[in-house]
Each structure stands twice: as structure tokens, then as C-alpha cells.
Amino acid sequence: MTASKTLAVFGAGPGLGNSLAEYYGQKGYQVALVARDSAALEERAAKLGKAGITAAAFPFDLTDIAGIPALVHSIEERFGSVDVAVYCPLPSDGSFVAAADLDAATLQSMANIFAFAPIEVSHTLLPGMLARGGGAIVLVGGLGAVFPTPGFSGAAPLMAAARNYTHTLHAELGEKGVFAGTVSIGAMINNSTGMRAATAGGRKLDPRFPIIEPATIADAIWQLTTKRDRNEAILPPLPSA
């Protein structure tokens, strides 16, 4: 009997993380959920289990760069090799500032989660993927990493750096069976932690942000990691010129 493949979601929130777990889980994948909130992760893993999806919670703060190798190894000990890794701790509104207001201290405070951690996760996973001749790593970020937008600096330059790294990985390793791709989102993800924070107390969403369903993003990631005919998706799709 063929062993199940494994999806690892780094930054598994209630929106996209949950949809990814359900989407891949329904296609036979085991799911590793990584995020800081232990109780919320355990609850999600239990719900997935009731739906017939094998899932486990791995509570971890992704700003702890030094601890990432041990985290990845614990996932591999539980599930075996990681076949698809999605890094998706998306920024909240508080992670964006005007470029004119950005200073080094502010940027440095966000660097671990948006730049260093995705690189360290990838670096830890790559030896196993290369040895097997297969695997996929997907980085999810904001549209500001692709198209700089006034008022939305801060996290965006860091996500741009991680995006550059991911695309370079793909160019280097694509012929060796390892896929590296990015998904850049220019919308508020429905049911996400960010959306809940943005609408707390009856606040209105920024009209510059449309709302996208997390299942739409999960499907786009599935298409990237299975078809491998491109290595970037922008959601919602940009209007044709």
C-alpha cells in the first residue's frame, strides 16, 4: 500500500490554513499544522480527524529561527517526509506602514516571520526533497511583494525578499524535481485572523481590499504544486491589460 503524502502548513490559521488542510486532506494527504496557538491547533486537528483526515498540531512560534530545524524534524518523525510545505503566516493590517514612516527597527521586528523563517524552513526541508527527487515549497505573501503600493510598506519589502529567494530556488532546483512557487494575494482572506482583527468592533474593511475565499487560494496552490506549469499565482487575478 502506498504511504500517504504529507502537507505541512506553516502559519496554519482559521482561514487559509484550515482550507489547505481540508483540501489536501480530502485528496489523501496527512497534514501537519504549525502555529503559535496550541489550543486552536489541537481543535483544528481534532475536527480534521473527525472528517477522516490524519492531522497533527505542532505548536511553534515561527519567529524562533533557531528552533525551526527541530520543528521540521519533529514533523518528519511523526509523518515521514514532507511532500508539500506551504508557508503562510500572512500579515495583519498592523504589519503595513507608509514607506516614509518605515525605519530599521520596525523592519527588523518583522524580519524573522516574513523573511528569515521561510528561508530557514526551506533550507531545512531541501536536503530531504533533493534526496528523494521530489517535493514542493510554496510561499504565500501579499501583493505588495510584487507591486509596491503606497501605504503598504513594512512587511512588503520583507515578503519581496522571500519571494525573490523562492523564485531563485525554483530556477536552481526545478530540474531536480523540487518545485518552489509563490502566491501573492491582494485581498482580505475570509475568516482569517487578519480579517477578524480588521472587522473587530464593527470596523469597516479598507475598501482597497476585496475579499477572497480561502478555498480559492487552496485550489490555486494545489494547481501550482500538481501541474507545475508555472510557479506564481496572483489572487485575485489582475485585470487584463
96 against 119, higher pLDDT: 119
Average pLDDT estimate for 81-86:
98
Answer whether residue 26 is part of any domain: yes
3-state secondary structure of 34: strand
Report the pLDDT value the prediction gives residue 192, as an integer from 0 to 100. 77
Q: Give 94's pLDDT tier (boundaries 50, 70, 90).
A: low
pLDDT over 60 (residue 236) = yes
Most confident of 54-68, 151-165, 203-217: 54-68
Give, rounded to a whole angstrom, the gap between the first and last alpha carbons of the chain. 49
Tell me, what CATH number does 215's domain have? 3.40.50.720
Number of domains present in the structure of the chain: 1
Phi, psi of 184 (to 5 degrees): -110, 125
Q: What is the gyration radius of the CA atoms in the chain, in angstroms?
A: 17
Answer whether residue 240 is part of any domain: no
Of all residues in the chain, what percent carry a pLDDT higher than 90?
A: 78
pLDDT over 70 (residue 200) = no
Q: Give 199's pLDDT tier (boundaries 50, 70, 90).
A: low
Report the pLDDT value the prediction gives residue 3, as an integer from 0 to 100. 58
Out of 118-122, 129-133, 204-208, pick the least confident.
204-208
Answer whether residue 1 is part of any domain: no
Q: What angle do CA 42, 48, 51 make, to 5 degrees?
A: 145
pLDDT, tens digit (0-9, with 9 covering 90-100), for 145-175: 999 988 889 899 999 999 999 999 999 999 9
168 against 94, higher pLDDT: 168
What are the residues whose beta carbons fall under 8 Å from the beta carbon of 135, sequence distance 6 or more? 81, 82, 83, 84, 85, 125, 128, 129, 177, 178, 179
pLDDT over 90 (residue 12) = yes
The model carries a pTM of 0.93
Out of 17-31, 158-172, 206-220, 224-238, pick the least confident.
206-220
Answer whether residue 146 is part of any domain: yes
Cβ neighbour number for residue 83 with a 10 Å cutoff: 21
Q: What is the mean pLDDT of the chain?
A: 92
Answer whether residue 241 is part of any domain: no
**Domain assignment of residue 75, given as a range:** 6-235
Report the pLDDT value the prediction gives residue 93, as an integer from 0 to 100. 59
